A and B are shown apart, each in its own frame.
Chain A
Amino acid sequence: MGATLAEKILARASGQDSVRPGDVIEPRVDLAMSHENAALVINQFTEVYKDTGLDSRVWDPSRIAIIFDHRVPAEGMKTANNQKKIREFVTAQGITKFHEIRGDEGGICHQILPENGYVRPGQVLVGTDSHTTTHGALGALAWGIGATEMAAVWSLGRVLNVEVPATIKVVVTGEMKEPVSAKDLILYLIGHITAQGANFRVLEFHGPAIRSLSTSGRLVLSNMSVEAGATAGLVIPDAETERYLREEAGVTDPIELLQPDDDAVYERVVEIDISNLEPQIACPHTVDNVKPVGEVVGKPINQIVIGSCTNGRLDDISVAAAILKGKKVSHSTRMLVFPASGRIYRQAMDLGYLQILMEAGAVVMNSGCGCCLGIHQGALADGEVALSTTNRNFKGRMGNPNAEVFLCSPAVAAASAITGVITDPRKGN
């Protein structure tokens, strides 16, 4: 009996020939990521070592990544003090993969990890962030954990008491027609299988439509897999994975493209043909409340957001710039753009995208997560409506429980910025 990709990775990481769903294992960790919530991890890590008489050293400072992205630069003294505490810990422990608030090396954790070549196929990667699933796009088994669980990882180098999850195979066929994108595909899938459809399960993406997606698009699929409840969202690594790692992430050492077995056992197979897929919108207040754009066109929007770990990459900004070139953001709305990293910011600047977007009226912000989860900049007023390329539309998500968030692709966001209402990018204004 063959193994899914998740089973292969977990077997290897736990030193076994094979594992099956339901097995309890302690996989070793290749990379452990945190952001500002490292402040809590540090607290819990100290608790683990309390009264042991042991010197509290992390298991491997080269395998811990800490990226400041949630509230950058600090919006207040509480965050500033948390960041200071983390900096001191990073120095004391010799943690090497630390990304400060900087224009050269900084950015959103789920962009920083891939673009710096920290993520490889076959790895076990855990992060104190639910969108850690993002890194499945490169064939790493990557999942979100809480701060206390991370404290145990920092202490021991492995995840304790992991129950091997079953895998759902998602086979995607058909050709994606611009401006339809990976975002529309993942929104459609979440709407189809529901917000809990993959809870405690791994999604494994297959099919020609996945193979023809760029890594940037694959990152969107894996990123939002968690919105269907998935533990992880895996793309089978291939030549595109290798191209990305070599050309964009600067990886020079050997890359193994670990594959699932042909006779792997899946709990369920979901088949999607995207030939006729329309741009999709996730309506308030759950991510699975998904409708084709045609059903919500004309909805007035107060704030347009392009950015986040989901859709703040260079191709996303490029799509927006192409649509907004020579046009104006409607004065009935406002538009914020958050490039996902300093590198992407600089690339978008070099290519003239930021110039186009600012001339159109958009405000280009620094890289960060804050707006998406309503903790730093871009909060909504009572009764306001946002249209955003981010990943969640829960009640209160953008900082106000009396506001609404609609989720969409960069093309829908940009087309809607011109009109001030939800607009089908295939029809324009």
Chain B
Amino acid sequence: MGKVVYEVGNDISTDAIYPGRFMATVLPSETPQFAFADEKEFNAKLTKGEVADGDILLAANNFGCGSSREQAASCLKGYGVIVVARGFARIFMQNAVNLGLQTVVAPEIEASVGDELEITQTEVINHTTGKSYATIAHPPARQAIIDAGGLIAYARKKLLEEKGVKSA
């Protein structure tokens, strides 16, 4: 169960999630401080530790559109939030999968800040309103990376296979 801690609309770009002026900061260990830096209230909530692991950022369609900057995924991953959206832009979605930021596609989702959501294999249950919303599972290509624990681990396994080294 997670609580909706912030809600955004359609077409939220990576410029909003991680403003360009912080792009020279690249390491996943350093990017979280700049998550939604121009949304002062939400950024303060995050940086003051008022968001718990598994809490939910709720978005509408095309979340993460724009730049390929991976900081937009790593900065959110740093807080353990789950992004539940009606839809995601492709590059952001792939970056999230690669880095292990949990994303849930629920095309009809309706919820508000403060609602308690439960995410199951097939739906999101809004326990505050009592309504359930079907989710779209990751296709196998993305699920395989998630199951491996992210793209670094997945690529490392492939690399070892290719070089004929048995992984430990």
Contact = CB atoms under 8 A, between A and B. Distances in A.
Interface of A: 22, 24, 36-37, 39-40, 43-44, 47-50, 52-54, 70-71, 76, 78-79, 82, 128-130, 132, 144-149, 151-152, 155-156, 160-163, 195-196, 199-200, 229, 231, 286, 288, 373-375, 392, 394-397, 399, 401
B66 to A, nearest CB: 6
Given A152-B151, A195-B62, A395-B15, A130 B68 contact: yes
A160 B98 CA distance: 11
B102 interface: no
Interface stretch (B114-122, B125-133, B137-145): B137-145
Contacts of A147: 26, 70
A231 B68 CA distance: 11
Contact of B152 (A39, A48, A145, A163): A48
B113 interface: no
B36 to A, nearest CB: 11
A132 B90 CA distance: 14
Nearest to B62: A196
B154 A160 contact: yes
For the complex of A and B, list the 5 residue pairs with the smallest distance between their C-beta atoms, beginning with the closest: A152-B155, A40-B26, A146-B95, A394-B13, A161-B141
Interface string B2-45: 00000000010101100111011111000000000010000000
Interface in B72-121: 73, 87, 89-91, 94-95, 98-99
Given A79-B24, A199-B90, A397-B15, A148 B70 contact: yes
B62 A229 contact: yes
Contact of A52 (B24, B90, B99, B165): B165
A100 B151 CA distance: 30
B67 interface: yes
Contact of B165 (A36, A54, A82, A128): A54
A392 B26 contact: no
A44 B16 CA distance: 24
Interface string B57-68: 000011001111
Given A394-B13, A401-B38, A54 B68 contact: no
Contacts of A195: 11, 62, 65
B68 A39 contact: no
Contacts of A196: 11, 61-62, 65, 87, 89
A130 B67 contact: yes
Given A37-B69, A196-B89, 10 more contacts: A43-B26, A52-B156, A70-B23, A79-B24, A148-B99, A151-B152, A152-B158, A161-B145, A373-B15, A392-B66
Contact of B144 (A156, A161, A200, A395): A161
B151 A160 contact: yes
B142 A146 contact: no
Interface bracket on B: 35 or more
Nearest to B156: A48
B11 A82 contact: no
B160 interface: yes
B159 interface: yes
A43 B24 CA distance: 14
Given A195-B65, A395-B16, A375 B21 contact: yes
A50 B66 CA distance: 31
Contact of B67 (A76, A148, A152, A373): A373
Contacts of B23: 37, 70, 373, 375
Given A374-B21, A401-B38, A47 B13 contact: no
26 contacts: A37-B26, A52-B156, A52-B163, A54-B159, A78-B25, A130-B67, A130-B91, A132-B68, A144-B68, A148-B95, A148-B152, A149-B151, A155-B155, A162-B141, A195-B11, A229-B89, A288-B11, A374-B20, A375-B20, A375-B23, A375-B24, A392-B13, A394-B15, A394-B16, A397-B20, A399-B21
A22 B20 CA distance: 33
Nearest to A370: B20
